[in-house]
Amino acid sequence: MKINNECARKVLIEVENISYGETLSVAKLQERLSEYSIETVLDIVTIFNRERYLNIVDKLSYDNTDVLRDHKIKCLTEKGYKTLDLIRNDDVWNLLKEKLKNFENISIFSLFDMANKIINVQNNKLFNLPEDMFLDNIRW
């Protein structure tokens, strides 16, 4: 399955907006992201659930990692929040899109890694650290 990177970013942003104690069904999430099909959103939510970027409730079983449209998303995990912090900034996201001619063909997880490197370089420049002292923030 091919993941739509724009949709993946928007999924993380929408899930972050779920109020404490509330849930959001995958079908309702897709309504909010109506420019994407339910299949596209389901694929992304399934992968993010497997990789522990978000929490799903109302699962059929603990072993079943496939997500259905009526499953409810509870929240981002710590890993999900840290990852969203990497790509939340429009400047970083747009820089990735601008510089990578094959942006849509690159894995979303590779984009997370590249965003992490961009932010690290920006932080090193901000604090005027020598190039050989790069801070390395592995966020997941």
Tell me the C-alpha distance between 28 and 31, whole Å.
5
Tell me the C-alpha distance between 38 and 136, whole Å.
37
**Bridge partners (DSSP) listed for residue 76:** 54
Higher pLDDT, 136 or 130: 130
Q: What is the mean pLDDT of residues 44-63?
A: 82
pLDDT of residue 131: 59
Provide the pairing of β-strand 24-25 with 54-57. unpaired
**Bridge partners (DSSP) listed for residue 55:** 75
Beta-carbon count within 10 A of 48 CB: 26
Residue 140's pLDDT band (cuts 50, 70, 90): very low
pLDDT of residue 36: 98
Span 4-38, pLDDT tens digits: 999 999 999 999 999 999 999 999 999 999 999 99
pTM for this entry: 0.86
The single-letter code of the amino acid at 126 is L
Span 100-132, pLDDT tens digits: 999 999 999 999 999 998 888 887 777 877 655
pLDDT of residue 134: 53
Structure tokens at 102: 């094959």
Q: Where are the beta strands (DSSP E) in the chain?
A: 24-25, 54-57, 72-76
Span 66-104, pLDDT tens digits: 778 889 999 999 999 999 999 999 999 999 999 999 999
